[in-house]
Amino acid sequence: MAYYKIIPNIPTNGTSEPPAHYVDTTKDGDINYNILRNQLMYDISDVEVKEIDFGEFEGRRTHKKKL
């Protein structure tokens, strides 16, 4: 079981970060399939893949409440 963060190398306007896609190989299948899916989705050939830990994977959806 491994967790990955896939960041497509798409041109940006400099103020925003490219969208990140998170993959859990136990649920989402093969990492190569997900890399290919991102390449086709954004019509690019270059993506950055980072292996992350469980804490970062789970923390991707947490939002801090503003008081």
Phi, psi of 63 (to 5 degrees): -120, 135
Global model pTM greater than 0.75: yes
Cβ-based neighbours of 54, under 8 Å, separated by 6 or more: 3
* Mean pLDDT across the chain: 86
Whether 23 and 47 have beta carbons less than 8 Å apart is answered as no
pLDDT tens figures, 12-52: 777 777 889 999 999 988 999 999 999 999 999 999 999 99
Measured between its terminal Cα atoms, the distance across the chain in Å is 37
